[in-house]
Amino acid sequence: MRGVVAVMVLLYAVFPSAASAGKAALSLLEGRLAACANIMPCSSLYRWKGRIELQKEFVAIFKTSKAKVREARVRILKRHPYDVPCVIELAGKANRAFEKWAKGELR
């Protein structure tokens, strides 16, 4: 990837509503634990208590740094409405312009 200068971290989390995903996003943004968040509706299939469930949920992707990822993950988990929340950490390469912008937002 041309212009790659830093590893950024994505936290992928699933929420029961747009409101709960938005609340988590605002908390991370206000705490400067995420540079930005994307929230998207999705359909989730999973096994829960012996039954296969199909639910409408909301995926939130939080963009953060290696330095802030632990605190961001802890904050999501503390405030998450699910008994067993899904929070997955993915590291990836960021382009120079985005990394520069994100770094400024995470100060």
Instruction: Give the tens place of pLDDT for each residue, 12-26.
Output: 999 999 999 999 999
pLDDT tens-digit series, residues 7-59: 899 999 999 999 999 999 999 999 999 999 999 999 999 999 999 999 999 99
Strands 87-95, 4-15: pairing kind = antiparallel
Query: With bands split at pLDDT 50, 70 and 90, how would you rate the model's confidence at 2?
Result: low
Q: What is residue 105's DSSP assignment? A: H
Domains parsed from the chain with CATH numbers: 4-105 (3.30.70.120)
> In whole angstroms, what is the distance from residue 13 CA to residue 2 CA?
29
Q: Tens digits of per-residue pLDDT, 80-105? A: 999 999 999 999 999 989 999 999 99
